[in-house]
Amino acid sequence: MNIDDVKNICVVGAGNMGHQISLHCAIKGFNTVCTDISEDQLKKAESFVDSYLPGRVKKGKMTEDEAKAARSRIRFTSDLKDAAKDSDYVIEAAIEVLALKRKVFADLDKIAPPHAILATNSSAIVSSRIADVTNRKDKVLNLHFFNPALVMKLVEVVQGPHVSDETTKISMDLCRRLDKVSVHVKKEVKGFLLNRILLRIFEEAEWMLEMDVASVEDIDKACVFGAGHPMGPFTLMDLTGLDLAYTMGLESFRETGDPAQLPKPHLVEHFVKGEFGQKTGKGWYDYTKK
Ligand SMILES: NC(=O)c1ccc[n+]([C@@H]2O[C@H](COP(=O)([O-])OP(=O)(O)OC[C@H]3O[C@@H](n4cnc5c(N)ncnc54)[C@H](O)[C@@H]3O)[C@@H](O)[C@H]2O)c1
């Protein structure tokens, strides 16, 4: 198999990441099916597509014909079987829970054609913790997009010990066709490449808040105006989701047994109140006032 054999992409999960990954695939010429267990999320994803594409035309970023063609290449369904049965490449972007991902991959292994590559967009769960539920371990890998997936260029292609060179090559080629910049992560290390660096920053920012060294606003300002980051760590967490940061902290604790990995008190406070960041209107910042 090579990249020319990849025509149909299935994206599992229509949330923060999944709806944008699937739309991006459709814009770049792939027949794309986006699936989710939540009809509500699918509706939201579809209405995003229906407002995004005309918006791009209005801004002169896309012709009307290009927008129409992209729209015709994407569809939404809550039926996993229907979504994955003809896929050449699957990108799973469901919630960050290991047991759930293992179940999804076991199902996908039965549904998707034998040649299909099954990738997970997980931020922290390495594919070797999932691949053993399939009969195609060599075709199961991490393909890690960044948020917002329509905008961010970087994609990490993580080659665990079970992943074949062919799967890695096709995945890197797919990124090129998606007009992304891919990096080959040669080992399954925690946090992969960029998040490993960013997590150190998040962690230090949260400790400084816990110790009352500075406010959320001032920690963000320091990173933006002193280090030249496009946004501070708290603003970035609001964008990526505090629920994700919380879950990642818990998963990390379960993996290492290190209490320092547990979500910090301020993060827990926001989490229990359902303040997950931009998607709920409130997180470290209050977006309902803007
Ligand atoms: N949010 C980010 O910034 C970011 C960045 C890179 C990678 N990721 C990873 O992408 C994945 C998705 O994250 P997100 O932020 O989009 O989460 P999200 O909570 O916004 O969306 C997850 C979606 O998965 C759906 N879902 C739950 N169970 C499902 C199932 N069995 N089958 C199909 N869909 C199911 C939910 O209904 C929801 O719509 C996670 O693994 C996360 O680690 C997230």
Of 159, 185, 211, which closes a domain?
Answer: 185
The protein residue with its alpha carbon nearest to ligand 1, atom 33, reads 36
Residue 165 and residue 235 in one domain? no
Residue 153 and residue 46 in one domain? yes
CB atoms within 10 A of CB 174: 25
| CA atoms 198, 246, 282, 240: torsion sign | positive
pLDDT in tens, 77-112: 999 999 999 999 999 999 999 999 999 999 999 999
Residue 146 and residue 273 in one domain? no
The whole-model pTM stands at 0.88
Q: Is there a contact between 59 and 113 (Cβ–Cβ < 8 Å)?
A: no
Which residue is listed with tokens 């080992």? 187
Looking at the structure of the chain, the number of domains it has is 2
Strand 117-120 to strand 89-92: parallel, antiparallel, or no bridges (unpaired)?
A: parallel
Residue 246 and residue 274 in one domain? yes
Please indicate, yes or no, if residue 288 is contained in any of the structural domains.
Answer: no
Confidence band, pLDDT 50/70/90 cuts, at residue 191 = confident
Residue 27 and residue 98 in one domain? yes
Residue to probe by mutation, ligand 1, list 11, 16, 271, most atoms within 8 Å of CB: 16
- Gap from CA of 13 to ligand 1 centroid (Å): 6
pLDDT in tens, 241-278: 999 999 989 988 988 899 999 999 999 999 999 999 99
With 70 as the cut, is the pLDDT of residue 290 above it? no
The single residue of 8, 16, 195, 252 carrying the catalytic annotation is 195
- Gap from CA of 214 to ligand 1 centroid (Å): 32
Residue 119 and residue 234 in one domain? no
Q: What domain range includes position 269?
A: 194-280
pLDDT in tens, 38-92: 999 999 999 999 999 999 999 999 999 999 999 999 999 999 999 999 999 999 9
Please indicate, yes or no, if residue 285 is contained in any of the structural domains.
Answer: no
Q: What is the CATH number of the domain that holds 215?
A: 1.10.1040.10
Tokens of 209: 């808040």
Residue 80 and residue 177 in one domain? yes
Which residue is listed with tokens 């896309």? 62
Residue 103 and residue 210 in one domain? no
Output the ligand 1 site: residues, CB below 6 A: 12-18, 36-38, 41, 93-96, 100, 104, 121-123, 145-147, 240-241, 244
DSSP codes of every residue in the chain: --GGG--EEEEE--STTHHHHHHHHHHTT-EEEEE-S-HHHHHHHHHHHHHHHHHHHHTTSS-HHHHHHHHHTEEEES-HHHHHTT-SEEEE---S-HHHHHHHHHHHHHHS-TT-EEEE--SS--GGGTGGGSS-GGGEEEEEE-SSTTT--EEEEE--TT--HHHHHHHHHHHHHTT-EEEEE-S--TTTTHHHHHHHHHHHHHHHHHTTSS-HHHHHHIIIIIH--SS-HHHHHHHH-HHHHHHHHHHHHHHH--GGGSPPHHHHHHHHTT--BGGGTBSSSB-S--
- Partners of 272 in the β-ladder: none
Q: Is there a contact between 83 and 33 (Cβ–Cβ < 8 Å)?
A: yes
As a whole number of angstroms, the distance between CA 141 and CA 219 comes to 35
Residue 255 has what pLDDT?
83
pLDDT in tens, 126-166: 999 999 999 999 999 999 999 999 999 999 999 999 999 99
- Gap from CA of 60 to ligand 1 centroid (Å): 31
Q: Decide if 156 is catalytic.
A: yes
Tokens of 195: 């998040």
Residue 139 and residue 241 in one domain? no
